[in-house]
Amino acid sequence: MTEMVDSEFERLLDYLKRERGFDFTGYKRSTLMRRVLKRMQGVQIAGYTDYMDYLEVHPDEFTHLFNTILINVTSFFRDDAAWDYLAKELLPRILADRRADGPIRVWSAGCASGEEAYTIAILLCEALGREAFARQVKIYATDVDEEALAQARHGSYSSKDLQPIPSEWRTTYFEQVGGRYTFRPELRRTLVFGRHDLLHDAPISRLDLLICRNTLMYFNAETQRQVLARFHFALNDDGVLFLGKAEMLLSHANLFYPVDLKRRVFAKVRGFNLRNRLLAQAEAGDTEAVEQMSQHLRLREVAFDMAPVPQVVIDADGCLALANERARALFSLGPQDVGRPFADLELSYRPAELRSLIEQAHAEHRTLKLTNVEHHVPDGGVQYLEVQVTPIPWDDGGNQGVCITFDDVTSRERLRADVQRAIQELETTHEELQSAHEELEATNEELQSTNEELETINEELQSTNEELETTNVELQQRSADRDHANAFLQSILASLRCGVAVVDGRMRVLIWNRRAEDLWGLRADEVQGQSLRSLDIGLPVEQIPVSAFLAGEASYEELMLASTNRRGQAIRCHITCTPYLDAEGARAGVVMMMEEVTG
């Protein structure tokens, strides 16, 4: 039934793309479905197919649907602490690097009704003065919503809209026309509003500042990667990216690094080599770069495949990325194994345990070797291998993955074994001649001592039985203590007024208290042992920085996430994260305390 609903929804998205040119395939499906269902409820339609029929009969409905999907939530100086940092710290730094009359280019992507574009215009005018502002600054503000752009172009707002703006700036930058306030025309000329699709249109280039706040969070991971590659291309080498408070870029360190993570300000990573530049352009949709990248990668693959030594490459996610021809033949690897988790492959533990060796190589940042590893070949013979695990570093010093080579040292090992065996045989023959006489003399003494040993064994058995009885009593007491501790822990968790979830390093749920059940609608026995990311709840789990806690980069974190509770109501969820330590004191997971914020 779920597959049928998903299929109908995809047909609806394809219909919107064909009829109105809006491509929503890159948006997160969960969010997109909620928005479409909300509009369908407004016109009292239950099925996606029926809604397509309704759109054909009522063309005006497209506008209402797009307004529902494209959540145009914005305001002047939204998240004022971030804008205060931008005005006092970031803009002076950007302007200091410019020539006296050098151009300053800004792009407000996903500008909605224009408030953030006019906000940056005010701050730049305050920093430069009116004349320099009009001469040097060009602000491009784009969105896919034509209705929101029409409002932005007018630059006309109510007195309520202007409340976040200091009173002295209201009179300086706005003039009252009737009952509304309009941005002053002589300053308005520096702003250019236009329709732009982040997924398909070419990015605006040579930017000093790119503002895209709370837009990326509506896209899925693949689409975010493509958009960020375009943003990287659009910015100057010293350009700055300003995101919304829900967007962290923790998995895109190869493109951007944080200038101030708390305020979501990021700088462009410079010094891309040829491969990185081609990859970024390819992700941004540059077809010529895609072809060059394909040729470049094909050359590397052929050279790797022709290597005389069996070799495999494991990526940073622990998946098999590459295996050359000799490795495929030696370990019976097929095309279907590429991309699979390495831990799921027989090669990870046979002929040698490689998983722990890979972790050690990552941790110590050095090459590790295993010698004389036995590998049993299909014909029943034994092959000896020298295994070498080499970390593959990133430019920033981190590890991208590992390369594992298997050098056949069978002939060398067999020769060494033959020599060693001959030496041992000579030594053994001499020792046997010497010990023959001693063994005859010792036989009588052994017979005499046998009775004493039997008596000693009997006493030892009796002592062992007593020890076992004592151990059994201790185990019973420990079991009772553990049951009491578990009952005490469950009582505490049940009495807490906030939801508590404990997850391990693989995001599997260990603890889920009653308040968490009430908040998200899933019982503890339904979620324990399951991945938190796979749970069908309204909490945006991907925004919780679990990896930062496991890596020791964070010890305490508070988040405020927009969520949906078990009743389908939109809520703000305050989450407090602390590390969960194992018995040795090592970080083994994360403790999350979740509380619905009202008011």
Of 123, 114, 210, the C-alpha closest to 165 is 123
DSSP bridge partners of 140: 107, 192
The SS3 of residue 108 is: strand
- pLDDT score of 379: 76
Q: CB-based burial of residue 288 (10 Å sphere; 0-12 exposed, 13-18 middle, 19+ buried)?
A: exposed
**Tokens representing residue 99 in the block:** 């020539």
**Tokens representing residue 464 in the block:** 């062992």
Q: How many residues does the chain have?
A: 599
Of 113, 122, 92, 104, the C-alpha closest to 188 is 122
Letter for the amino acid at 542? E
What whole-number distance in Å separates Cα of residue 142 and Cα of residue 466? Answer: 82
**CA distance readout (Å), 378 to 323, 346, 382:** 20, 15, 9
**Tokens representing residue 393 in the block:** 């570093």
What whole-number distance in Å separates Cα of residue 500 and Cα of residue 521? Answer: 14
Eight-state DSSP code of residue 22 = -
What whole-number distance in Å separates Cα of residue 162 and Cα of residue 396? Answer: 44
CA 196 to chain centre: 27
- pLDDT score of 273: 46
Cis, bond preceding 351 (omega within 30 deg of 0): yes
Helix (H) or strand (E) holding 509: strand 509-512
Place of tokens 């151009």: 103
With beta carbons less than 8 A apart as the criterion, state whether 210 and 69 touch.
no
Letter for the amino acid at 134? A
- pLDDT score of 568: 85
Q: Which pairs from 324-327 meet CB under 8 Å and 24+ separation?
A: 327/406
pLDDT tens for the 599 residues of the chain, in order: 555 567 888 888 888 777 766 777 777 777 778 888 888 888 888 888 888 888 888 888 877 777 777 667 788 998 888 899 999 999 998 888 776 678 999 999 988 889 999 999 999 999 999 998 999 999 999 988 888 899 899 999 999 999 999 989 999 999 988 889 999 999 999 999 999 888 888 899 899 999 988 888 778 888 888 888 889 989 998 889 998 877 776 556 678 888 888 888 998 887 554 445 545 555 445 555 446 555 656 676 677 777 888 998 998 888 988 888 888 888 888 878 888 898 888 888 888 888 888 888 888 888 888 888 888 877 778 888 889 998 887 655 556 788 999 988 888 878 887 888 888 888 888 888 877 777 777 776 777 667 666 766 766 677 677 778 878 888 888 888 877 877 777 777 777 788 999 998 888 999 998 888 888 888 989 999 999 888 888 888 888 888 888 787 888 888 898 998 888 888 899 999 999 888 888 888 899 999 988 75
Helix (H) or strand (E) holding 513: none
Strands (DSSP E) contained in 46-190 are 104-109, 137-143, 156-157, 174-177, 180-183
**Per-residue b or e along 381-392, where b marks 16 or more CB atoms closer than 10 Å to that residue's CB:** eebbbbbbbbbe
